[in-house]
Structure 1
Amino acid sequence: MSTETLTSAAELRAFLNGLPGVDRVGAEERAARLASRSIKTTAKAAAIDLAISMVDLTTLEGADTAGKVRALCAKAARPDPSDPSVPRVAAVCVYPDMVETAVAAVAGTPVKVASVATAFPSGRAPLAAKLADTEAAVAAGAAEIDMVIDRGAFLAGDLMKVHDEIVATKEACGDAHLKVILETGELATYDNVRRASWLAMRAGADFIKTSTGKVAPAATLPVTLVMLEAVRDYRAATGRRVGVKPAGGIRTTKDAIKYLVLVNETAGPDWLTPDMFRLGASSVLNDLLMQRRKLATGVYSGPDYFTLD
């Protein structure tokens, strides 16, 4: 079934409800087992560099200023000014009114600019306002849009509304990639996470993302496992690859590496690139940089050595 063949809410509901249920205990046990894997020496060094290259460095605060955004962009392009061998991060993510500032700041680098839209983080706004939000960010130069679904509509069973809003937002994105935020902490069950993942992919999402970072719990390993299984199965069914982005609560190098193991063992190595997997976790970057320096020099640099985000 593709988006072109969805003709009614009943058909969409029947498809999503026909997906196999998630074995909660099995998912949690598998995530815990994979998280216990130990990565050492050269493999750990490679994993750290890969994780750095997957970070979406983010500032989404009401107190954001142009100066803060420019400083964040400088860090995105050169995470450790003393070491040019450190990879750049994948993207910086800002509110729509800061996109133009960010685009100018990363000009000449491969770092992408992403912007949240569609009444982030609540998703509670008329569709016209959500689309205007998206169009403004794209017009300002955003290469990626992080939209948030209407969880109220999803939980109330108005699946076609959620589907159609994703389709409309994807169209408003033009050439920009669309990340669809499920806000899994509000979806209550793994079955709902699986259904929301498939709904978003069928509607045209380029990425599915766990969380806004504003709601607890944010990203967890079992939830991300369910989403990785969904993108794996979706590719098997359609041939199209969709990326995954856990966001929120990923704070240490150990956390980041656990996610990389999860990706490799669930979706496979095709997803172990910044084009297919992102870490929405600004606070993890400094720890990755500290652990990288320790592996290279044997000396652990404290957090004050690196800029605060």
Structure 2
Amino acid sequence: MPVPHTASVPEATTDRALRAYLHGLPGVDEVGARARAQDLSTRSIKTTAKARAIDLAVSMVDLTTLEGADTPGKVRALCAKAALPDPTDRTVPHVGAVCVYPDMVAVAVEALRGTGIGVASVATAFPAGRAPMEVKLADTRRAVADGASEIDMVIDRGAFLSGDYLKVHEEIVAVKEACGDAHLKVILETGELVTLDNVRRASHLAMRAGGDFVKTSTGKVSPAATLPVTLVMLEAVRDHHAATGRRVGVKPAGGIRTTKDALRNLVLVNETAGPEWLTPDLFRIGASSLLNDLLMQRTRLSTGTYPGPDYYTQD
């Protein structure tokens, strides 16, 4: 069983207070975390529940394109798919959001107008985050001004790993302020944090600074969204809610490509944070290729046959 969160949230935001708080968190039993994630990944889901789970997973997808070759046409096509994933079946829910680079936000916002789907934008010099603070804030403000309802920022992993927690905290606070009414997802880039203890500390630091979501990765670094990492982040948001009364979301991103992957994550959410987190408001999956597999499995459940490989548009 996970160890309960016993450290108290610091009243003052100083380097000393943050260090005491983060290093006062219970350590992660890495062997135990990996064993629990493996155990939960083997849970079976009955056919009737599986159909509902697939629809839930579709509604949690942040349909993403983050390539140097992105064009307005590609973004518009992605938005059309986000709003109507399967043109032959209008009972399929739309996705949670479309995630693009800041310069494509205006294109996505216009394409999604009237659909109820938000636009998420990676900002703060994604994916490395190696830029002056004024550049990161300008990046964020531009995306919000163009209509982004969610900002996915990257933390300064160098500062975090060198123990400069106050710098990381202050950057998150500043970006959160620049977001205005937009929600802030804080990308930890867990593949660079090395240990699950660091994942737990970074999650609590992001929440302490006001992040609305903690996100595993940029999708540009391997390993990305592993089940043990997502488990530790779900424990962190659960414990933060118990300590403060505030619910923070979780977004695994990178490497989640199949329906099995998605359903394993939903089981993890239910068994760790609880069913309250089984909503797009508190759990998202950053992906591009996942949606097609969810649609294929959904069709198989309803018709008994798989559609051909070219049945759905390729992202």
Please report the TM-score for the alignment, with normalisation by the length of structure 1.
0.99
2:33 & 2:47 partners in 1: Cα distance? Answer: 29
Equivalent residue in structure 1 for 2:15, among 1, 9, 32: 9
Identity of aligned residues (%): 77
Tell me, yes or no, if the aligned pair for 2:156 and 2:168 is still in contact at 8 Å: yes
2:67 & 2:60 partners in 1: Cα distance? Answer: 22
1:194 & 1:34 partners in 2: Cα distance? Answer: 20
Which residue matches 1:236? 242
Matches within 5 A, 1:1-309: 5-309=11-315
Secondary structure of the 1:280 match is: strand
Residue 110 (structure 1) shift: 1.2
Tell me, yes or no, if the aligned pair for 1:287 and 1:303 is still in contact at 8 Å: no
Listed as ranges, the gaps of 5+ residues in structure 1 are none
Listed as ranges, the gaps of 5+ residues in structure 2 are 1-7
2:304 & 2:92 partners in 1: Cα distance? Answer: 17
Residue 302 (structure 1) shift: 2.5
Tell me, yes or no, if the aligned pair for 2:9 and 2:21 is still in contact at 8 Å: no
One-letter amino acid matched to 1:36:
T
Residue 2 (structure 1) shift: 5.2
Please list the CA deviations of residues 177-233 of structure 1 after superposition, one character each: whole Å capped at 9, or x if unmatched: 000000000000000000000000000000000000000001000000000000000
Residue 234 (structure 1) shift: 0.2
Tell me, yes or no, if the aligned pair for 1:55 and 1:285 is still in contact at 8 Å: yes
Tell me, yes or no, if the aligned pair for 1:121 and 1:212 is still in contact at 8 Å: yes
Residue 98 (structure 1) shift: 0.3
Tell me, yes or no, if the aligned pair for 1:91 and 1:111 is still in contact at 8 Å: yes
In the alignment of these two chains, the number of paired residues is 308
Spell out structure 1 runs of 4+ moving beyond 2 A: none
1:108 & 1:100 partners in 2: Cα distance? Answer: 14
Secondary structure of the 1:57 match is: strand
One-letter amino acid matched to 1:284:
L
One-letter amino acid matched to 1:280:
G
Root mean square deviation of aligned Cα: 0.8
Please list the CA deviations of residues 127-162 of structure 1 after superposition, one character each: whole Å capped at 9, or x if unmatched: 110000000000000000000000000001111000
